[in-house]
């Protein structure tokens, strides 16, 4: 197993670098960030094939682009997400 900090870095910073996404992948002033506050001892995936849209437990707060979308495990109704396109992306004609 690897330390939690290293896992977060590999799941956030490395993909942003590989996809050449500017100002993403780390918590830095002025950068866009999605932040998840969770209890690692309580993380459980509750989704099943029959009920695929069930939330995981152990998720406490989630912020997307600085806007809270999950507060104390409950969705706030906010939908601040947006499409992220890599450099060189072109729409299909």
* Cβ atoms 50, 39 nearer than 8 A: no
**Are 55 and 71 found together in one domain?**
yes
> Residue 46: helix, strand or coil by DSSP?
coil
What ranges make up the beta strands (E) of 1-93? 34-38, 59-64, 67-71, 74-75
Residue 63 buriedness (CB in 10 A; 0-12 / 13-18 / 19+): middle
> Residue 6: helix, strand or coil by DSSP?
helix
Give me the domain span that covers residue 3.
1-27
The token pair at 70 is: 């999950």
**Are 60 and 39 found together in one domain?**
yes
pLDDT digits (tens, 9 = 90+) for 31-73: 888 898 988 899 899 999 999 988 789 989 999 988 999 999 8
Mean pLDDT of 20-39: 88
Answer yes or no: is 90 within a domain.
Answer: no
Answer yes or no: is 93 within a domain.
Answer: no
The kind and range of the H/E element at 66 are none
pLDDT at 56: 84
Residue 88 above 90 pLDDT?
no
């Amino acid at each position: 197993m690897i330390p939690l900090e290293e896992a977060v870095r590999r799941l956030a910073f490395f993909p942003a670098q590989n996809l050449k996404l500017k100002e993403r992948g780390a918590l830095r002033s002025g950068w866009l960030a999605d932040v998840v506050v969770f209890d690692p001892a309580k993380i459980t995936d509750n989704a099943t094939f029959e009920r695929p849209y069930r939330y995981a437990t152990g998720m406490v707060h989630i912020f997307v682009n600085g806007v809270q979308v999950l507060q104390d495990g409950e969705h706030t109704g906010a939908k601040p997400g947006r499409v992220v396109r890599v450099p060189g992306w072109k729409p299909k004609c």
